[in-house]
């Protein structure tokens, strides 16, 4: 594991388990040189612990780069909660996760990501102040989608000679909070959207709307 962390340039990785809630989580901190590590919390099933670790390391590194490029006083981090087949109490799970974040004493600030939402962050906030994207703070997903949209426009301008997306076919993988907001924006731009999601209900909802 140490070889993996060194090759990824990782500052630290923290493992957490809470027997009462069933929590199994890890927090990867890539850098705190510019400020506390900031990054979302993923809650999804993984085939193995190694897969979850690799996901967290990759995403934490990406968060460092994004914060630096944006000139923000933050480093990069990412949390992953391994999603079990059955959890008795989701609120208790995220409250336990909040206690884990509090134990890092401000070294990592968590937020929403795949599989988590503002309601989960509200539970985290009961145990720590090192959290954003609560119901009070608001959902950052539309802002993330706007950033992706600008990237698509830039790619279209480079490859197609125009930033207009009217009639351009765009494929989306995933219709979560960001993906769904992005799909709405693309349709408003006149793009032809092809999208898929492991949740058939999300696809059906997008088609109906």
Confidence of residue 199 (pLDDT cuts 50, 70, 90): confident
Q: Stretch 43-61: mean pLDDT, rounded?
A: 95
Rounded distance, CA 6 to CA 16, Å? 21
Q: Stretch 183-199: mean pLDDT, rounded?
A: 95
Q: Stretch 148-160: mean pLDDT, rounded?
A: 97
The pLDDT, as a whole number, for residue 138 is 82
- Residues forming the active site: 78
The pLDDT, as a whole number, for residue 86 is 83
The pLDDT, as a whole number, for residue 5 is 81
Average pLDDT over the chain, rounded to an integer: 94
The pLDDT, as a whole number, for residue 74 is 98
Residue 202 has pLDDT above 90, yes or no: no
Q: What percent of the chain has pLDDT over 70?
A: 100
Rounded distance, CA 130 to CA 75, Å? 14
74-102 pLDDT, tens digit per residue, is 999 999 999 987 888 999 999 999 999 99
The full set of domains in the chain, from first to last, is 2-125 (3.40.50.10860), 141-208 (3.40.50.720)
Main-chain dihedrals φ then ψ at residue 99, nearest 5 degrees: -65, -35
């Amino acid at each position: 594991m140490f070889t993996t962390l060194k090759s990824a340039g990782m500052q630290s990785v923290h493992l957490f388990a809470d027997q009462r809630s069933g929590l199994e989580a890890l927090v990867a901190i890539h850098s705190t040189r510019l400020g506390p590590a900031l990054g979302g919390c993923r809650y999804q099933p993984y085939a193995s612990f190694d897969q979850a670790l690799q996901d967290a390391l990759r995403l934490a590194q990406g968060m460092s780069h994004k914060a630096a490029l944006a000139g923000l006083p933050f480093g990069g981090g990412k949390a992953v909660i391994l999603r079990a087949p059955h959890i008795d109490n989701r609120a208790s799970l995220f409250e336990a996760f909040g206690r884990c974040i509090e134990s890092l004493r401000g070294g990592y600030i968590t937020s929403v990501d795949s599989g988590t939402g503002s309601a989960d962050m509200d539970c985290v906030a009961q145990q720590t102040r090192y959290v954003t994207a609560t119901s009070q703070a608001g959902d950052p997903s539309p802002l993330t989608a706007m950033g992706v949209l600008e990237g698509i426009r830039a790619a279209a301008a480079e490859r197609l000679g125009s930033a207009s997306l009217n009639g351009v076919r765009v494929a989306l993988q995933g219709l979560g909070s960001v993906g769904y907001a992005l799909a709405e924006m693309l349709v408003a731009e006149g793009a032809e959207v092809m999208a898929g999601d492991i949740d058939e209900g999300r696809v059906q909802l997008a088609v109906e709307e």
